[in-house]
Structure 1
Amino acid sequence: MPRKTKLRTVLVVILAIPLIMWLVWLCTPKTKMVAAIIDKTVLTTQGQEHISLTWILNHQKITKTSTKPYKIANDYYGFFPLDNEKFRLKGLERFSADQLQQLSEDADMVYFTDTYGIYKNEWYAQANNTERSGMIYGGMSSQDIELLKLMKAKRKLIITEFNSIGSPTHVDTRHRFESLFAMRWTGWTGRFFENLDSAKNKELPRWLIRNYKRDNNNQWPFKKSGVAFVNDHDQVVILEDSTDLKDPMPHITSTAYGQENFGLPARIKYAFWFDVIQPDLKTNTQVASFNIDVNARGRKLLAKHNLPAVFPAVIMHKDRDYRFYYFSGDFCDNPISMGTSYFKGITFFKWLFYNTADPMERSSFFWNFYKPMVTKILDEEKEFKGK
């Protein structure tokens, strides 16, 4: 066969692969599963805080009716952005007791992706989004808790994650959640920053710098990468690369159970927001843990503030009485494209969509951790419904 003919044949095959993958996806049978998605932090119609879940629902051909797929801009409860800085609130706060009861009957699962909310500095274009400001909408509400209570009683699937019960959720509401699911938020949240130099990194939260300086002689001496912890009293702890950390990047390590049952990697980097929780391990099972790789100085600094270097990343309760998962990070917020969800077998080409050499690259977390875990949870839910 002539060289040109061979090249042409190879090119045709390469171009045909995406078409075949799309056709296979198109022919995959639909599965109806009613998901009550709660997202109160939706700045654009791209739905960044729940995009990862919608991607998986679409990829798995899980639909809200027998025919209609989930739409990222429409199928959730919470904050809905409109044009010209207008918005519509369609959360559970408008639901009566009877309506919440009906929703708990209709829904197969509930997923709280984010309740942090929307703030004036983010929503109105003229404001500085690295500063704090008044809240427009946010926080877990009493109606949210009531739905969770009903879903738990009905043994429906419940998934929640950071930031469901942190600020601005009222403390009484938080305590009700903690009591329902046998866990406690310590009041601390954290995040990795690639550059802590305030002169170079203009995206560092101004409030973070200000609160640290308030308690440290007006000093902000950091120039490298590191991890910032902040608690609900605005106290700030900074761990800097080399000074306090052997490795500045937080990692998630999975238990043997997590690796065997959810297909999780033994260890993966995590470069976004997380919270520090304390679960009752008599009731809950720990699936994965965050690890902050501190040196002796860093360990001492954490101990001074009663902060652990290792703490839960994923916990679950999966028994006859109820089914519950809590992800201690902003797991559903990943820089992915919905377009890739329309191709069956796209996971075989996942390496094309991320670059692990980039410290801040987060797409690999979706492909290697979030996607296999949530896919497995939803597959189990299909089996449970079938029984």
Structure 2
Amino acid sequence: MKKKKPFPRFWAGLAALMLLLLLPWIIWEVSPARTLSVAVLDKTVTDDSYREHKGLFWVLNQQKYRTETGGKYLYDLDYYGNYPEKNGTRPQERTLAEMKGEPQLLYIADTYGLEEERSGEEAAAGEEVPENAGGGAPRDQNGGLKTADVNVMEAAAARGTMIVAEFNSLAAPTEEAVRKRASALLGMEWTGWTARYFPDLSAGVEVPAWVPGRYREVTGREWTYTGAGFLFVEEDGDLFVMREGEETEGGARISFTDAGRGRFGLNAENRYNYWFDIVTASSGSEVLAEYDLQLTGNGRALLAEHGIRERFPAIVRHEAPGTADSASQGSAAPGQISYYFAGDYADHDEYPFWRRYAGWPTFKSWFTFDPPGSEDAFYWDVYVPLMNKVLEEAASVMLLESGGDTQE
């Protein structure tokens, strides 16, 4: 009688490997979904990349948050603002005033707006509005946060909706009166300055086309910068540069405060390599993270010359006390929570399938490096775990209010 051959070790190993690879997907598929009503505003959708809010939608779906109807969040449909052109025609903007229901979270991703189309002569002359750190002038009809938008924000806040906003939601071209109302909800104030770290300051590489002309107008000198450094731009047109090796020893790093580490459990000190604005926290607000520009003595003196602090908030949390609710016979309404991110944090171009994979954010955080100029490490090491905590907080606030469970 012939003996049966033992099951080949190769096939056993392959089966074990396949199970190991499939297990995180199986865990994700069988884990329960959670309902969280989220409204997103993005007025700066210039094309079908949807990059100003796509990073947020990836987190929502990876964490299995669902709409009130049980559907997945679709980054190309489930937001308010403008939509990309189709067949040469841009669909009508969908405004916050059209919002139905009462969202648990209102996220203001970007309100800068679309750029005006300019003639070839204007483009060649660099005739662009310097208040836009990123490019051309916004179209008047949709650029900036509007009175109607802040009306919705205030009404939502009065109902206890959590509000999260990030750059550029309040900076130019938002009008001052609207900015003040929105800033009061968010517990912060914009100083008028925006900035960005560039790996290469050479003209024609990454620096906006209008910068050399504006620099010549302000200083009377030609733009001859090369190498890495920061560009600072003020709302009224002033600007200056901090060079790596002279005024700074490297790029901007986000550093969590004790309050931030306690709330989020994050100790990351990653580079932040995109646009950010310089803000101050209002009285009663918590600064959960700050920007560290790794300044030299010359850099500290240059910032002081322009009235800018050496360290300034990156994440601000504000909690307003509850108010009397006449509709509930004078009972106290719960406090309202808001966050302001002083950077373009949700800006992310990728939307990988691996959102349906348990533990994928942790894997990406481990294996994504943090080189100068890259935005990936900040997204995986800071924004994703940060938003996981913020979304949990938004859901828990509504759980306490409703007395029910948020899981499907």
Aligned to 2:329: none
Q: Which has the higher strand share?
A: 1
Counting only pairs closer than 5 Å after superposition, residues 25-36 of structure 1 correspond to structure 2 as 25-36=28-39
Deviation at residue 5 of structure 1 after TM alignment: 4.6
Q: Give the secondary-structure state (helix, strand or coil) at the position aligned to 1:145.
A: helix
Determine the C-alpha separation between the residues in 1 that align with 2:169 and 2:200: 27
Aligned to 1:139: 144
Q: Give the secondary-structure state (helix, strand or coil) at the position aligned to 1:278.
A: strand
Deviation at residue 234 of structure 1 after TM alignment: 1.5
Determine the C-alpha separation between the residues in 1 that align with 2:348 and 2:261: 21
Asked whether the 8 Å contact 1:271–1:360 carries over to 2, the reply is: yes
Deviation at residue 6 of structure 1 after TM alignment: 4.2
- Whether 1:336 and 2:340 are equivalent positions in the alignment is no
Aligned to 2:292: 291
Determine the C-alpha separation between the residues in 2 that align with 1:351 and 1:110: 27
Aligned to 1:261: 263
Determine the C-alpha separation between the residues in 2 that align with 1:24 and 1:312: 38
Task: Identify if the C-alpha distance between structure 1 residues 171 and 48 changes in structure 2 by more than 3 Å, giving closer, same or farther.
Answer: same
Count of residue pairs the alignment pairs up: 371
Asked whether the 8 Å contact 1:244–1:294 carries over to 2, the reply is: yes
Determine the C-alpha separation between the residues in 2 that align with 1:351 and 1:62: 21
Asked whether the 8 Å contact 1:38–1:91 carries over to 2, the reply is: no
Task: Identify if the C-alpha distance between structure 1 residues 158 and 207 changes in structure 2 by more than 3 Å, giving closer, same or farther.
Answer: same
Determine the C-alpha separation between the residues in 2 that align with 1:161 and 1:63: 23
Deviation at residue 380 of structure 1 after TM alignment: 1.9
Deviation at residue 144 of structure 1 after TM alignment: 1.1
- Whether 1:250 and 2:246 are equivalent positions in the alignment is no
Determine the C-alpha separation between the residues in 2 that align with 1:275 and 1:153: 27
Report which of the two structures shows the higher radius of gyration computed on alpha carbons: 2
| Larger mean Cα displacement after TM superposition, 256-265 or 64-73 | 256-265
Determine the C-alpha separation between the residues in 2 that align with 1:143 and 1:18: 49
Letter in 2 for 1:163: N
Deviation at residue 43 of structure 1 after TM alignment: 2.1
Letter in 2 for 1:55: W
Asked whether the 8 Å contact 1:252–1:289 carries over to 2, the reply is: yes
Asked whether the 8 Å contact 2:138–2:173 carries over to 1, the reply is: no
- Whether 1:323 and 2:346 are equivalent positions in the alignment is no
Task: Identify if the C-alpha distance between structure 1 residues 134 and 323 changes in structure 2 by more than 3 Å, giving closer, same or farther.
Answer: closer
Question: Percent same amino acid at aligned positions?
Answer: 28
Q: Give the secondary-structure state (helix, strand or coil) at the position aligned to 1:275.
A: strand
Aligned to 1:194: 199
- Whether 1:224 and 2:189 are equivalent positions in the alignment is no
- Whether 1:215 and 2:225 are equivalent positions in the alignment is no
Deviation at residue 42 of structure 1 after TM alignment: 1.1
TM-score (norm 1): 0.88
Asked whether the 8 Å contact 1:114–1:164 carries over to 2, the reply is: yes
Counterpart of 2:395 (choices 377, 382, 385) is: 382
- Whether 1:177 and 2:191 are equivalent positions in the alignment is no
Deviation at residue 131 of structure 1 after TM alignment: 5.0
Letter in 2 for 1:267: E
Aligned to 1:113: 109
Task: Identify if the C-alpha distance between structure 1 residues 10 and 114 changes in structure 2 by more than 3 Å, giving closer, same or farther.
Answer: farther
Determine the C-alpha separation between the residues in 2 that align with 1:131 and 1:16: 49
- Whether 1:354 and 2:368 are equivalent positions in the alignment is yes
Q: C-alpha deviations, 1:178-229, integer Å up to 9, x for none?
A: 233332100000000000122xx52321112211121222321311100111
Determine the C-alpha separation between the residues in 2 that align with 1:7 and 1:348: 30
Determine the C-alpha separation between the residues in 1 that align with 2:135 and 2:162: 36
**Cα RMSD (Å) of the superposition?**
2.5
Determine the C-alpha separation between the residues in 1 that align with 2:351 and 2:20: 19
Counterpart of 1:161 (choices 160, 166, 190) is: 166
Determine the C-alpha separation between the residues in 2 that align with 1:108 and 1:342: 24
Task: Identify if the C-alpha distance between structure 1 residues 76 and 131 changes in structure 2 by more than 3 Å, giving closer, same or farther.
Answer: closer
Q: Which runs of 5+ in 1 are unaligned?
A: none
Q: C-alpha deviations, 1:110-165, integer Å up to 9, x for none?
A: 0001111111359x9xx789852452632101111011101211111110111001
Determine the C-alpha separation between the residues in 1 that align with 2:194 and 2:393: 31
Asked whether the 8 Å contact 1:145–1:176 carries over to 2, the reply is: yes
Determine the C-alpha separation between the residues in 2 that align with 1:29 and 1:131: 43
Task: Identify if the C-alpha distance between structure 1 residues 148 and 134 changes in structure 2 by more than 3 Å, giving closer, same or farther.
Answer: closer
Task: Identify if the C-alpha distance between structure 1 residues 386 and 212 changes in structure 2 by more than 3 Å, giving closer, same or farther.
Answer: same
Aligned to 1:89: 92
Q: Give the secondary-structure state (helix, strand or coil) at the position aligned to 1:37.
A: strand
Task: Identify if the C-alpha distance between structure 1 residues 18 and 90 changes in structure 2 by more than 3 Å, giving closer, same or farther.
Answer: farther
